[in-house]
Structure formats: structure tokens, C-alpha cells
Amino acid sequence: MSFGRAGRLVGAAVAGILLFVFLTLFFVPSAVLLRAANSRLSQYGLKLGAASFGKALPLGIKGKGITLSSASGELLKIGNGRLMLEVLPLLLGRVTVAVDAEIGSGKLAASLSLLNAPAASIELKNVRLEDIPFFQTAAGMKAAGILSGKAVTTGRLARAKGYLQLDVQGAELSGIKLGEMPLPDASYRTVQGMIRITDGKGTIESFTLQGDDLYARLKGGLPLADPLAATPLDLSLELMPKPALLERQKLIFLLLLKFQDTPGHYQIPVRGTLGKPQLL
């Protein structure tokens, strides 16, 4: 077979794929697409809803008032969102989608490559923690502050590589529990974290919470599992409170007394899973 003929066949195949995808998005009703998404998400106990949902040309979908929920309630709320199939990667035999969304006054942008070579790049900018229902509905805590961060991964979960980086300014965290053990309520000027992912295992390179009354640091690793909520934890949480905080929250630090190794320093082992952390 000549190169010219092979090139024409490849071109015809790619054109056929693009035409099929376009016709599918153009003619399939939006409600059917939403039901198809929910059929997939239901395997993870999740449900997708939208105040409005429709197609976006040339190859995409868009929505307003989008919510992602679990049995415990809403986890994520998006004002406006758009998901587009990227044409250039498709010409090279890759299925990649781009996502742009508004979370309150903040922004989410993502690029997700599917099928044979999975990869993801997700970036958050200036998202208010108050605009993420997950903290209240799933974690049972109150959170405030401005979150920015980025996650980049390549490969399937068991062999994934990449990193997760986050930064929160002006954080206010209260009502946090590990298992049944409460942790102190506190304000933090900055929360910064970097988790490196190598061969399917996440290692915390740094994760610090810096406040006027409390300095906290998380260390350790977590081998990723599917689903992510089943990821086992092997972490250590250090708390270094100032005397004023010890005085204000005497009861909590009395409960944590068994984890005190030196005066003003608490070393707390965290086990269980990502979905259900527990103390040893």
C-alpha cells in the first residue's frame, strides 16, 4: 500500500470519527446525555444535576447551575460550565476534553485525556472554600479562605505519576474530626501543600498550616486506590499550639493529651482511608 493511499485512509477514518461525534452531540437530546453521565456517576454514588443543560458548538456541552451530589448532599456547585472535545488531539488518535467552570467567583480549568493514555491537568484559581459544599456536607466542617491549586497526573491509577499543589490564604477551619476525635478550631494565614505522585503512590513533600495560634504539619504517604475514597492512609499530623489556644480549647487538647510527646507538641498518627480517616 502506498503512503498516499494510507494517508487518505487515515484521513477518512479521522473524518468519520469527527462526523460521528458531531452527529451524536448534535442529534442526541441533552436529557439523554445527562442521563448517560448519571449512569456512569451512579457507580460511585454520585449524581449530576443542572438548572439548564445543552450542547456547545462545535463539539461540547454546557450548563448552568450544575451540581454534583452524593447521599450526604451537594458536594460541588458550578455557576456556568463548559466541556469541549478537543479536535487536534482527536486527529492524533487521542480523546481529550477541556473543562471550564465557575465556582462562585473562582475558576476551574481542566484538560482530561481518556482511554489508552489517561492524563489530567486541573487548575483552581481564587475559589472561596465557602462556595464548596463538600466541606459541610461530606466532611461535617466549616471552611473559609481563598483556594488556588493545581493537579497534574499521567497514567492509570496504579502507575500514576504527577503532583498536587495547593495554597489557601486566610483559612478558617472549624468542626474538623478524625474519626470521633475533634481537632482544634483555628485560623491560618496560609495553608500550603505539595504532594508528589510516583508509581501510584502519593508522598507528602510538604503540607503546612501556619497560624498565629497554631502551626500544623502533615507528613506521610498514601498509595492510591480505586475508588479514591478507599485509599489507605499512613500519615502523621503534628500540632504545635500557642498557650493562648491551649487555654481557649482546653477540652479538645485534654482529649488529645495521649498524643502529646513533649510540652506544646502533639504527634497524631492518622490511618484508615481517605474517605474515613481514623486515629490509631
Task: State percent of the chain over pLDDT 70.
Answer: 86
Q: What is the pLDDT of residue 239?
A: 97
Q: What is the pLDDT of residue 235?
A: 94
Q: What is the pLDDT of residue 13?
A: 46
Q: What is the pLDDT of residue 9?
A: 45
Q: What is the pLDDT of residue 24?
A: 55
Q: What is the pLDDT of residues 12-31, one digit of tens each?
A: 444 444 444 555 555 556 67
Q: What is the pLDDT of residue 267?
A: 96
Parts of the chain with a pLDDT under 50: 1-20
Q: What is the pLDDT of residue 15?
A: 47
Nearest by Cα to 55 from 89, 16, 103, 21:
21
Q: What is the pLDDT of residues 29-77, one digit of tens each?
A: 667 767 777 787 787 788 888 888 777 777 777 888 888 888 888 888 9
Q: Which three cell numbers stand for residue 229?
A: 475514597
User: SS3 for the chain, per residue?
Assistant: CCHHHHHHHHHHHHHHHHHHHHHHHHHCCHHHHHHHHHHHHHHHCCEEECCEEEEECCCEEEEEEEEEEECCEEEEEEEEEEEEECHHHHHCCCCEEEEEEEECCEEEEEEEECCCCCEEEEEEEEEEHHHCCHHHHCCCCEEEEEEEEEEEEECCHHHCEEEEEEEEEEEEEECCEECCEECCCEEEEEEEEEEEEECCEEEEEEEEEECCCEEEEEEEEEECCCCHHHCECEEEEEEEECHHHHHHCHHHHHHCHHHEEECCEEEEEEEEECCCEEEC
The domain spans of the chain are 8-114
Q: What is the pLDDT of residue 229?
A: 78
Q: Which three cell numbers stand for residue 243?
A: 498557650
Q: What is the pLDDT of residue 25?
A: 54
Q: Which three cell numbers stand for residue 276?
A: 474515613
Q: Which three cell numbers stand for residue 4?
A: 498516499
